[in-house]
Structure 1
């Protein structure tokens, strides 16, 4: 079921923006695959009569990230680990200089159950094209999903243990929007 035409404001009160990380390298099993919540973000969604007439703009504050889950790893994820992860992320992302990430759609193709939102992502002082997959995993819910390649934005992924444990270059992004 398509979203009725109109202008919508989205954010953490009525939708979710999650990041998903993975690990790589010989010591990858020692690291955690993380789910990270952006707790301060907003989106302006304009829905037209046709999907091609829709527009989306999202701004997220990178200093508002919260680690909500960590799968795998040599030991269970602690609150101390969560704090250290966020400190490392702030350093690598240089959030003092680049506190926001912005996505702006440039076009949308497909339909409400299977489409693509084409756009640009501004992160870490650079702007690059980014396509997000649109689907409806269940009635009344829409999801945008894609991946951000850190190297395209001049970001060197976190590494430890002399480079044998690395954060994967691609960070998954998922926005879930319930519409009833």
Structure 2
């Protein structure tokens, strides 16, 4: 059986995190779209099927792309403050990477079911993924979306205005990759 490895990076796709807001002043806050601009993934293949997946995301590559909602449109300085708050919550100086490692990959109707664990702030939690694969003109488009609860990893969501405005505990992570088939 021939084994090959795909090396993927931000040149092949995006890792996006979407946040929400909560609290009595939630309508004043921005729901953020964050892009992790530096990441790598290795997909090892055993014959015609993927055998393992490992991913590393550089925490300091976090960029706030936009903020929806709020009383006024999100400004550049507000994006910089949101980035600094997110890096502080993720303890970027101490924990430089977020990691994902699969334990099994099983073919499904729309792609693959990946069982594995994500590690944030040194804490691992089970994180199954439904990886959808579409074949478009000899290119695979791979997508997955999952919800993560920050406090399960020891991440303290940011609060403002004496706790009246909070980043919601659950965030949504979306990965989209294009790859020649």
- 1:155 match: 155
Higher strand share: 2
1:167 positional shift: 0.7
Q: How many angstroms apart in 2 are the aligned matches of 1:73 and 1:126?
A: 32
TM-score w.r.t. length of structure 2: 0.88
Instruction: Tell me if structure 1 keeps the 8 A contact 2:12–2:179.
Output: no
Q: How many angstroms apart in 1 are the aligned matches of 2:152 and 2:171?
A: 12
- Tell me which of 16, 25, 28 is aligned to 1:18: 16
Instruction: Tell me if structure 2 keeps the 8 A contact 1:112–1:136.
Output: no
Aligned length: 175
Q: Deviations over 1:60-84 (max 9, x none)?
A: 1101111112111111111101110
Q: Deviations over 1:96-153 (max 9, x none)?
A: 1111110001112342615421111111121111112211367331102111111111
Does residue 35 in structure 1 map to residue 30 in structure 2?
Answer: no
- 1:98 match: 95
- 2:171 match: 171
Q: How many angstroms apart in 2 are the aligned matches of 1:13 and 1:82?
A: 23
Structure 2 gap segments, 5+ residues each: none
Structure 1 gap segments, 5+ residues each: none
